[in-house]
Every structure is written in C-alpha cells, then in structure tokens.
Chains A and B, each alone.
Chain A
C-alpha cells in the first residue's frame, strides 16, 4: 500500500524542527530513518498530516563523548554507531545488542534515537538504554528536558514525549562492567525479537533485562548467591507476557526461563 497524502517539511536546524513541531503538534510525525515509521505509513496504521524529516539536520549527526556518557544524536544511524571505534570498549552491552537490531540494510538508515522513540517492547536499543540507566534528551520551544529511560518509555509504543517535543539525543552511560551478554529468540535473525535478554554482571550481583515479555523493557538485579532459576521464574510470572501472532504469553515466559540462565552464564564467563 501507499501512504495517505501528507505535507513534507525538511528543516535545516533543530530550531526549525522544534518550531514545526510547535506549529503542528499531534498532527505531525518526526521522520529520521523511517525504518518503522515508513512501514506504518505504507500500511496506513498512521496517517499524519505533516512529516518532519530531521535526517539532514547537522546538529543531530554527532556521536559525542561527554563526561561519563556517550551522547548519540537523533540522526545517527544504527550502522554508524556500530562502526564507531569506541563502542566495544565504552558500551560493550550495546555492542553485543546492535547486531540483532533489524538487518544490515535497515541499520543503514534506521536511527538509534528512532528505535527509542518508537518504543517497541521487543526492541533491543530501548532495552540496553534501560539496562544502563540511560537518558533521553527532549527539546521543545518550552526548553530542554532529560528523562531517564525508565520514565521515558511508558508502555507499548508509548512514551513520555509531548507532541511538541523532539528527541534530539539519547545518552548511554559509559560502562565499566565488562561482563555482558545479549541474546534473543526471533523467527528469523533480524526480525522483531519474541524475547530478548541482556545481562550485566557486576561484583556480587547480576542485572538482567528482558524485552518482548512485558509492554516495555524490564530490568532486575539478582544477587549472585540467589537461586537464579527461581528468580527468573518469579520475574516471568510478574511480567506475565503478552500474546500476538508470534507467540503466546506462556511461550514468552517459557523462553525467558530457558534463555535467561544461559545469558547470565555467558555474561559471567565473558571478558568483553
């Protein structure tokens, strides 16, 4: 199918983009890489009156090292971040997760911030952002605010972004933990995960993150001397799981119980 008609705006600066959002609000959608948005437009799942294309805004094209965090601008593609030389050393969990994000061909265009904005519950980048306690930077004419990932993602495809706000960047705290692992179960490599699990081991505890089971990424810290199987089972029941064309809720809980211990084991053995 083809999208319904819309007005197309391609601002040259963040200021112009924010002004366009202030003028059009809920009638507008921000287009960056379009790897989720364009599919939704083609299927007419969304019918915005205005598209604001931010892909060519120079201010949004940077990967910047700040004190203690890596800031990734809203126009940075997933493949550009994968090719960033500091990735494996500074953000080993993200380096482990990025190869699972879509396909080579969609990562060439899809953006890091776009994944966060789209807020699919099975999506890898929002899961890593939640695991590391990262932040989302939002700008509007009213000013700039920064939200923790846990406050930003509110539910299935739902975030705390106001209609006049532009996500200008996300910030991943630089990781000092080296023992990380990421794994997911999908119908085909690169497809949406049915269940994704991340683990970061740190001293006497391990943090696990789960995507694709609840309506948003879930994280849990588990003491190393606790019974891992029991802890994962409790988490599976707590998150319940949801049913869609790919899997039942029960199957999601079962996959989580099976792969979480493997991912934790992999993290414990890993020196990234």
Chain B
C-alpha cells in the first residue's frame, strides 16, 4: 500500500510527454499545480479548479482528464501528455493546431491547451466525428472568446469530416 502522510513530500515520478521526470509533492498537490510549479510545464492552464472550465485538461495514459481534479500522487507512474507535446521540435504546429489557426479557433488562447488535448484523445478514438459529436466533446470546455464555431470548424477540417479535406495537408 502506498502511503504519504500530509506533512510528507513524496517523490512523484511520471512520464511527461515521453520523458521520465520526477519532483516532490505533498498529497494535496493537484496535478495541474505539479505540472506548472514543480515541473515547469506551464502550457497547461488553470481556470476554475473545480472541473467545470476544462482549461487544465491533459491526457493520462491517453485519456483526456481534468488535471485540477487529479492529485499529483494519483498520476504517479502514469504517462501524462500535455499541450507541449503537440508541436514539433522545430515549433511547427501539428495538424490540429494548424486547423485551429486556420479557422480562428482561438483568440486569447487561455482555454486552448485543454481543448486541444480533449480532441487529441477524442480524434484518436473517433477520427471522423460528426459535428454533433464534436459539439458534445466541446461541451466539456468553456471558451469566452470564440463562440465555439471556429473550434468546431477546425476539428471538422482536421478530421476531414467536411468536404474540405484538401486543407488537411496545410
């Protein structure tokens, strides 16, 4: 049985975007804070801290989850994937990010990391979703700038669900 007392700082190891990393955390530390403050991975944003806004969404073992509703210690030994993993080493955007850019799917960009991670999981399971399915997944996020239409268009574009498949190579 793993046990960490409240005053204890345990060493938590995770695989972050393919790299083995570790840092200390007390039991109450949220994964969102662990990523940002302990590991310096500030691409993951923190909004509401009670699971409503979706800004902090990351993948744990490939599944999109709220990192603010996850303790760092719960992620121990797991593979965590964040928005930092999406662009190439040369800074080149991946297809999903490029589609967001093409469709004006972000303005201030605060909510964008979480939305990108949700669709990274979802498109892996369902590569050609319907518009209704995209809206359903997007309902787990709040965006105060875009009105969502651009985001739906971006996901339709990248998934080739609409007849704009020619843009996929962009």
Contact indicator B140/A106 (Cβ below 8 Å): yes
Given contact pairs A7-B6, A34-B70, A105 touches B50 in the complex (Cβ within 8 A): no
Kindly state the separation between the CA atoms of A133 and B20 in the bound complex, as whole angstroms: 47
Contact indicator A109/B69 (Cβ below 8 Å): yes
Kindly state the separation between the CA atoms of A99 and B133 in the bound complex, as whole angstroms: 11
Contact indicator B66/A42 (Cβ below 8 Å): no
Chain B neighbourhood of A31, CB < 8 A: 74
Given contact pairs A2-B30, A108-B64, A109-B66, A8 touches B136 in the complex (Cβ within 8 A): no
Quote the shortest CB–CB distance from A27 to chain B (angstroms): 12
Within 8 A of B (CB), among A154-205: 188-190
Quote the shortest CB–CB distance from B140 to chain A (angstroms): 3
B152 CB-CB contact with A under 8 Å: no
Chain A neighbourhood of B1, CB < 8 A: 9-12, 16, 20
Tally of B interface residues using CB under 8 Å: 35
Chain B neighbourhood of A109, CB < 8 A: 60, 63, 65-66, 69-70
Contact indicator B54/A105 (Cβ below 8 Å): yes
Kindly state the separation between the CA atoms of A103 and B140 in the bound complex, as whole angstroms: 5
B166 CB-CB contact with A under 8 Å: no
Quote the shortest CB–CB distance from A105 to chain B (angstroms): 4
Q: Kindly identify which residue among B28, B65, B121, B139 contacts A3, using a CB–CB cutoff of 8 Å.
A: B28
Closest to B4 in A: A8
Chain B neighbourhood of A112, CB < 8 A: none
Closest to B28 in A: A3
Kindly state the separation between the CA atoms of A189 and B133 in the bound complex, as whole angstroms: 12
B137 CB-CB contact with A under 8 Å: yes
Closest to B50 in A: A39
Closest to B68 in A: A42
A98 CB-CB contact with B under 8 Å: no
Kindly state the separation between the CA atoms of A108 and B1 in the bound complex, as whole angstroms: 24
Q: Kindly identify which residue among B3, B4, B7, B139 contacts A190, using a CB–CB cutoff of 8 Å.
A: B139
Within 8 A of B (CB), among A39-61: 39, 41-43, 51, 53, 55
A104 CB-CB contact with B under 8 Å: yes
Q: Kindly identify which residue among B6, B69, B137, B139 contacts A35, using a CB–CB cutoff of 8 Å.
A: B69
Kindly state the separation between the CA atoms of A8 and B69 in the bound complex, as whole angstroms: 15
Contact indicator A108/B65 (Cβ below 8 Å): yes
Q: Kindly identify which residue among B49, B70, B118, B139 contacts A188, using a CB–CB cutoff of 8 Å.
A: B139
Chain B neighbourhood of A51, CB < 8 A: 27, 71
Contact indicator A190/B140 (Cβ below 8 Å): yes
Which B residues lie at the A interface, using CB under 8 A?
A: 1-7, 26-28, 30, 33, 49-51, 54, 57, 60, 63-66, 68-71, 73-74, 118, 121-122, 136-137, 139-140
Since A20-B1, A34-B71 are in contact, a sample of 8 more A-B pairs with Cβ atoms closer than 8 Å, ordered by chain A residue number, is A5-B26, A7-B5, A35-B69, A99-B136, A105-B118, A106-B51, A108-B65, A109-B69
